[in-house]
């Protein structure tokens, strides 16, 4: 017995040391995409459920691993010459029933909040604001039917109330995910899926397409800007304004000419104020983001640009110079623009507030 006890003592010392080390390791939550920093009731609810299950799983983990280590230490054969063989137990019905029933009970306990969570968090309230989300390779388009706004990459929603996303896809499957606000949901071509978003704090939240959607899946990102109600209304009415047509001599006029002459107009819509005849409406076949208020959006190119370490202008210039280089497979071609044309375009695009 004494060696057994010694072994046990040594074991507990080891386990203690391991636990100490684990608790000392500092875990930093520094990702804008983290699921651990929920900013709304839906994500909160999921987070609570996660931690409930996490702690149960952690307890089971330590029990099982602890038992395994104890067993290995206690029963390890240290004396190869010993003739003392173990008892030949074939099983124990009582014990086996116990370790069948206990997990079943734990699971039953977890099942309750799971099922209620599924039903509570699926679908939308009837009176919540709708945003139609349309997935494209590789950017998200947002259409606000109540306001007749069409925008891309950056979604703006009011704080403290539910926004209902009615989602579909123009091509392949996509998956809209803003971890701080809600779990993810597919965008399926030919079908509509619903996702409710709600934030209880203002700010900018990061998102990502989570379903593999082809070459540039990793470059299909999203932003959600949560603003207070007044700010949202202001934003909406600004978005409803048409763009202003640059006159000759205005800043951006040259860039606008490049836009007209280089074929950009085939894919990108711009709505002007003078007459509907001069509005540029992309044909159905060529569907790029609506550029009427391009410069009002903090990010572009699938919310990938500008990155952390570059200016807006530089990123825009890089993007225009060679879109398929930035985004492999991009439907926006490399138009072989000259440096002058690019800087003109950048100048004009910056005016499209």
Residue 114 Cβ vs another protein, minimum distance, rounded to whole Å: 5
Alpha-carbon distance values, 139 to 189, 248, 276, 285, 290 (Å)? 14, 33, 27, 16, 12
Among 76, 126, 146, 247, binds another protein (CB under 8 A): 76
Q: Find the shortest distance in angstroms from Cβ 205 to another protein.
A: 11
What is the smallest separation between the CB atom of 6 and another protein, expressed in angstroms? 18
Write the CA distances from 14 to 18, 20, 70, 99, integer angstroms.
6, 10, 11, 27
272-281 own/partner pairs: CB under 8 Å, 24+ apart: 272/242, 272/243, 272/244, 272/245, 273/241, 273/242, 273/243, 273/244, 273/245, 274/245, 278/245
**Per CB under 8 A, 96 contacts another protein:** yes
For another protein, the closer of residues 192 and 237 by Cβ is 192
- Considering only residues 169 to 188 of the shown chain, the ones binding another protein according to CB under 8 A are 170-173, 175, 177, 179, 182-186, 188
| Interface region with another protein, contact rule CB under 8 A, candidates 6-14, 39-47, 151-159, 339-347 | 39-47
- Whole-angstrom CA distances from 333 to 206, 264, 289, 304 are 27, 10, 14, 17
Q: Which is nearer to another protein, 239 or 269 (CB)?
A: 269
Taking the complex as a whole, how short is the minimal distance between the CB of residue 283 and another protein, in angstroms? 9
Residues 237-266 that bind another protein (CB under 8 A): none
In sequence order, the 6+-apart residues with CB closer than 8 A to the CB of 123 are 194, 196
320/291 Cα distance (integer angstroms): 14
- Residue 158 or 207 having the CB closest to another protein: 207
Task: Give, as ranges, the residues between 113 and 172 that touch another protein (CB under 8 A).
Answer: 114-115, 117-119, 121-123, 137, 170-172
Contact 335, 260 (CB under 8 A): no
CB of 100 to another protein, least distance (A): 6
Q: Which of 196, 217, 293, 297 binds another protein (CB under 8 A)?
A: 217
DSSP strands (E only) in 100-148: 129-136, 139-144
CB-wise, 19 or 72, nearer to another protein? 72
CB-CB contact of 130 with 158 (8 Å): no
Q: Give the nearer residue to another protein in terms of CB position, either 287 or 313.
A: 287
Stretch that binds another protein, among 11-19, 51-59, 144-152, 252-260 (CB under 8 A): 51-59
């Amino acid at each position: 017995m004494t060696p057994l006890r010694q072994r046990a003592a040594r074991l507990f010392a080891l386990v203690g040391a391991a636990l100490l080390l684990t608790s000392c390791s500092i875990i930093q939550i520094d990702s804008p995409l983290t699921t651990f920093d929920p900013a709304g009731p839906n994500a909160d609810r999921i987070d609570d459920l996660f931690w409930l299950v996490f702690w149960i799983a952690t307890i089971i983990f330590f029990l099982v691993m602890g038992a395994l280590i104890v067993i290995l230490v206690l029963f390890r054969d240290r004396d190869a010459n010993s003739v003392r063989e173990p008892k030949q137990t074939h099983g124990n019905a009582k014990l086996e029933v116990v370790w069948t029933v206990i997990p079943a009970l734990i699971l039953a306990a977890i099942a309750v909040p799971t099922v209620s969570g599924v039903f509570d968090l699926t679908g939308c309230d009837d009176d919540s604001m709708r945003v139609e989300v349309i997935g494209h390779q590789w950017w998200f388009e947002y259409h606000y039917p109540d306001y007749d706004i069409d925008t891309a990459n950056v979604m703006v929603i009011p704080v403290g109330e539910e926004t209902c996303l009615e989602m579909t896809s123009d091509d392949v499957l996509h998956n809209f995910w803003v971890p701080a606000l809600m779990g993810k949901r597919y965008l399926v071509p030919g079908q509509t899926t619903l996702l409710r978003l709600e934030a209880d704090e203002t700010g900018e939240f990061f998102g990502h397409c989570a379903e593999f959607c082809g070459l540039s899946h990793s470059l299909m990102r999203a932003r959600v800007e949560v603003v207070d109600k007044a700010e949202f209304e202001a934003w909406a009415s600004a978005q409803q304004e048409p763009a202003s047509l640059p006159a000759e001599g205005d800043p951006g006029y040259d860039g606008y000419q490049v836009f007209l002459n280089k074929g950009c107009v085939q894919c990108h819509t711009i709505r002007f104020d003078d007459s509907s005849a001069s509005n540029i409406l992309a044909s159905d076949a060529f569907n790029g983001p609506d550029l009427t208020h391009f410069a009002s959006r903090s990010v572009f190119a699938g919310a990938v640009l500008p990155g952390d370490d570059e200016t807006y202008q530089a990123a825009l210039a890089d993007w225009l110079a060679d879109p398929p280089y930035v985004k492999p497979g991009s439907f926006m071609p490399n138009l072989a623009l000259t440096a002058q044309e690019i800087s003109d375009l950048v100048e004009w695009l910056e005016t499209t507030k």
